[in-house]
Amino acid sequence: MRGRPCKKRRISFYPETTYFKPAGIPLQQMQEEILGLDEVEAIRLADLEDMTQEQAAEKMEISRITFLRIIDAAHKKIAKSLIYGKAIKMEGGDKIMPNLDGTGPNGAGPMTGRGAGAGQGRRMGLGGTAQCVCPDCGEKVAHTRGIPCAQTKCPKCGNRMTGKYCPTN
């Protein structure tokens, strides 16, 4: 007998960097922890936005208990990665990622399911970044939605830009 299907979690941030690993260890020799995008969103809302569990659960359109389970699992995965030197890969999860018009990224339909949506393999860079910043000369340009800052060249020096996180509330 199957249990109730998971309710989709609403996320409003997609990280531009989706993989972290300890320096100096070849990737082939590493284990990794998979952090779902719903877990990343829970960490962002609770730890960066300083929302209460009730506020964050409401924003993700889930119960407070579900939010607590999600953030607890995320904290444990991050702790295991730090303590045991594992890589962290951010992907998938039961999520709905609406665009401004209620569809998924770039208006390509709803971004739902476990990593099977449009743009999932391309890493669209649709998070809360408002500006792309050059790490060398400090030049700032407006972020173009759908194009990761790392694919944007600095107009002054030609180096790759990085994203500057700006909350979208």
pLDDT at 166: 43
Provide the pLDDT for residue 27. Answer: 83
Q: Are residue 33 and residue 105 in the same domain, yes or no? A: yes
Residue type, 59: K
Q: Which pLDDT score is estimated for 168?
A: 37
My answer on whether 68 and 137 are in the same domain is no
pLDDT at position 95 is 62
The residue out of 72, 90, 114 marking a domain boundary is 114
Q: Are 16 and 50 in a shared domain?
A: yes
Q: Is the CB of residue 116 less than 8 Å from the CB of residue 59? A: no
Percent helix, strand, coil in the chain, to 5, is: 30, 20, 50
Please report whether residue 4 resides in a domain. Answer: no
What's the predicted TM-score (pTM) here? 0.58
Domain of residue 135, residue span: 129-165
Q: How far is CA 40 from the centre of its chain?
A: 5
103 & 133 share domain: no
Look at the alpha carbons of 32, 35, 37, 40 in this order and tell me if their dihedral is positive or negative: negative
Helix 53-60 / helix 64-84 crossing angle, nearest 10 deg: 100
For residue 90, give the H/E element and its range: strand 87-90
pLDDT at 91: 86
Same domain flag for 82 and 29: yes
d(C-alpha 41, C-alpha 95), whole Å: 10
The answer on 20 and 87 residing in a single domain is yes
**What's the pLDDT at 147?**
72
Per-residue model confidence (pLDDT) at position 32: 92
Q: How far is CA 132 from the centre of its chain?
A: 17
What pLDDT does residue 31 have?
92
pLDDT < 50: residue spans in the chain:
100-127, 166-169
* Residue 103 included in any domain: yes
Assess whether 75 and 152 both reside in one domain: no
What's the CA gap between 90 and 12, in Å, rounded? 15
